[in-house]
Structure formats: C-alpha cells, structure tokens
Amino acid sequence: MDMTGPPFERFVREHERMVRALAVAYCRDESAADDVVQETFVRAWRSLDGLRDPSKVKTWLYAMARHAAIDHIRGRERRKTEELKVDVEAPRRQASEPVEQVMRLVDRLREDHRQILLLRYVEKLSYAEIGEALGMTSTAVGEKLHRVRKMVMERFGL
C-alpha cells in the first residue's frame, strides 16, 4: 500500500489531532507520542480494508491508537527493566497560557478519567462513540463523565 500519496495524507490530516491527543495523554512525552502516532497510522492504513463500518473510523482508529500507546509504554518499561536505567524526563516548560494550565490539571488525573474527558471535550465524540471506543454503554459514559466533571470541579476548586 502506498503511504505517501494524497489518500494517506488526507487520512492522517483528518485524524492526527485525535491520535496525537491520545498519544500524549498516554505517553506524557512528545517524542514517544510522535512514535505512537506514526505507528498508529501505519497500522491503520495497512488494516483499513478490514474496517467493516466506515462510519466508525474514529472509534476504530482510537482503539488502534490506544493499543499502540499501550504497546509503546510496555516496550519502554521492558527496556527500562532490561537496561536498569533511570528514566529522567526532560523538565516541562512553565505553563504560561490557560490552555497549558488546564492540560497540566488534566494530566494529573487518572488515566481513565483523562481519557474520557479528552474524548468528549477535545475530540467531541458522542457518548455512543466514546462507549464504543472504551467498551462501555453510552449511559455508563454519561454517568462516568458526570462523576469525573464533579470530581474535577471539587479537586481543582472550579
């Protein structure tokens, strides 16, 4: 499959923001997120023929990105154990804009809470789409989102 032509580029342009947001949320490292984004799109493009329902490409791609991020994290953890190295993260730049401050707050949430907020408010997925991506009913998504919003408001004094 040609991954250099316009159809591939269009596919990436349409979905890169969502995949990158997920990769950054999981990896918490821009370089690792770049690797996950690239791996996700390579896997997705090669598997595109297997997508049964094209209307569900977002949730399909989200699940693929989630698996790529988890694989990357597991590989990183395995390498750390094998090499017995201390992983030192580069210091994060100071948050100077409100968006960066909000992302720092979101970054401190549990993974499942961060994930559901990103899908709803960054990716603007419906409850049904989020449920499909996370293996939950849309009702369960609504209930969990309500609890997470309430917890965020209390925790951060908003």
**SS3 category, 51:** coil
CATH 2.60.120.10 fits 1-90, yes or no: no
More confident position, 98 or 65? 65
User: pLDDT tens digit string along 101-129?
Assistant: 666 777 778 878 888 887 888 777 889 88
Rounded distance, CA 64 to CA 59, Å? 9
- With a cut of 70, say whether residue 91 has pLDDT above it: no
Q: Where, residue-wise, is CATH 1.10.1740.10 in the chain?
A: 1-90
| Cβ neighbours for 43, distance < 8 A, ≥ 6 positions apart | 64, 68
User: pLDDT tens digit string along 30-57?
Assistant: 888 899 999 999 888 888 888 788 788 8
What is residue 141's predicted lDDT score, i.e. its pLDDT? 92
More confident position, 1 or 13? 13
Q: Where, residue-wise, is CATH 1.10.10.10 in the chain?
A: 91-158
pTM of the model: 0.52
What is residue 4's predicted lDDT score, i.e. its pLDDT? 56
91-158, what's its fold? Arc Repressor Mutant, subunit A (1.10.10)
Binned at pLDDT 50, 70 and 90, residue 93 comes out as very low
Pure H helices in the chain: 6-27, 30-47, 57-83, 98-107, 111-117, 127-134, 138-155
What is residue 86's predicted lDDT score, i.e. its pLDDT? 42
What is residue 90's predicted lDDT score, i.e. its pLDDT? 38
Mean pLDDT of the chain: 77
Which string of b and e fits 1-29 if b means at least 16 CB within 10 Å? Answer: eeeeeeebeebbeebeebbbbbbbbbbeb
Rounded distance, CA 145 to CA 3, Å? 37
User: Which of 47-51, 72-76, 89-93 bottoms out in mean pLDDT, i.e. has the lowest?
Assistant: 89-93
